[in-house]
Amino acid sequence: MPEDWRTAVCVVAHPDDVEYGPAAAVARWTGQGKAVSYLLLTSGEQGIEGMPAAQAGPLREQEERAGAQRTGVHDLAFLRYPDGALVDTAELRANIARELHRRDPELVVLLNHHAQWAFGGANSDDHRAAGQAALGALRAEPLPSLRWVAVADAPGIDHAVDVTQQLETGLAALREHRAYLDALGGEQWSVDHVVGNARRAGELLGTQYAVAFELVTDLAAAG
């Protein structure tokens, strides 16, 4: 995975998406002195069963900020689109483009927007809409400094980042989502899931742990 860049923005649907995906890679990058920002399209307000959305949304934003601190990220923006009902629209693309142009990163990181995850399982509509809208925004309003788009945990893996030294930091970021994980019955399944994916990606790279990416070099052909 190229690392000769200085700035990146991760565009995802929900609080916790980075922590389930590329958080350990983000920790590696910020440890190298790179500046990484997060753009979250929803506040994940439907993600805590039994908690009203008006209470869950701010709590999940708070947990995401705490998780981001763990990985060295201090610039976060929330667009607050409805959780569970994200749709790739012209308005969403325009708002994504606005936030990206404010930061003009060299690298944009997305979570998988394809129907299936890299290591198996069906993807959700929100994740797919988020990635598709971000790609649409980048096509419609190209960034002056953009060099790459990296899609985490996509089935077309062609690059990976060694996170053997950063995996525990990524897991610490995930554990900051305490209320969310408690509502799922505890952290163990989520931790095992992240570690398992990192181990599989590491096998592809020849390291203990890695984060897998599909690197997009032709936006016109990306889908």
* Residue 172: inside a domain: yes
- 7: phi then psi, degrees, rounded to nearest 5: -135, 145
Measure the CA angle with vertex 202, ends 27 and 112; round to 5°: 70
199, two tokens: 């181990």
* pLDDT tens-digit series, residues 19-36: 999 999 999 999 999 999
Residue 204 lies in a domain: yes
Given a contact cutoff of 8 angstroms between Cβ atoms, the answer to whether 125 and 87 are in contact is: no
Number of domains in the chain: 1
Beta-bridge partners for 109: 10, 150
Is pLDDT at 3 greater than 70 in this prediction?
yes
Contacts for 175 with CB less than 8 Å, ≥ 6 apart = 181, 187, 191
How much of the chain is in helix, strand and coil states, percent to nearest 5?
A: 45, 20, 35
Question: Is position 161 within any domain?
Answer: yes
Q: Is residue 30 part of a domain?
A: yes
Phi, psi at 173, each rounded to 5°: -65, -45
- Examine the pLDDT at 223 and tell me if it is beyond 90: no
Residue 116 three-state SS = strand
- Report DSSP state, residue 106: S
Rounded average pLDDT over 112-128: 96
CA neighbor of 14 nearest in space, from 68, 69, 71, 81: 81
The answer to whether residue 100 scores a pLDDT higher than 70 is yes
Mean pLDDT of the chain: 97
Which CATH number goes with the domain that contains 127? 3.40.50.10320
Structure tokens at 114: 């394809």
Residue 200 lies in a domain: yes
Check residue 219 and give its pLDDT. Answer: 86
Q: Contact 40/68 with Cβ under 8 angstroms? A: no
Residue 58 has pLDDT above 90, yes or no: yes
Say yes or no to pLDDT of 222 above 80. no
Q: What is the pTM of this model?
A: 0.96
Bridging pattern class, strands 107-111 and 148-152: parallel
User: What are the pLDDT digits (tens) for 148-207?
Assistant: 999 999 999 999 999 999 999 999 999 999 999 999 999 999 999 999 999 999 999 999
* Residue 220 banded pLDDT, cuts 50, 70, 90: confident
Note down the domain range covering 63.
7-221
Asked, for residue 2, whether it belongs to a domain, the answer is: no
Is residue 171 within 8 A of residue 216, CB to CB? The reply is: no
The verdict on residue 31 lying in a domain is yes
**Is residue 1 included in any domain, yes or no?**
no
Q: Which pLDDT belongs to residue 48?
A: 96
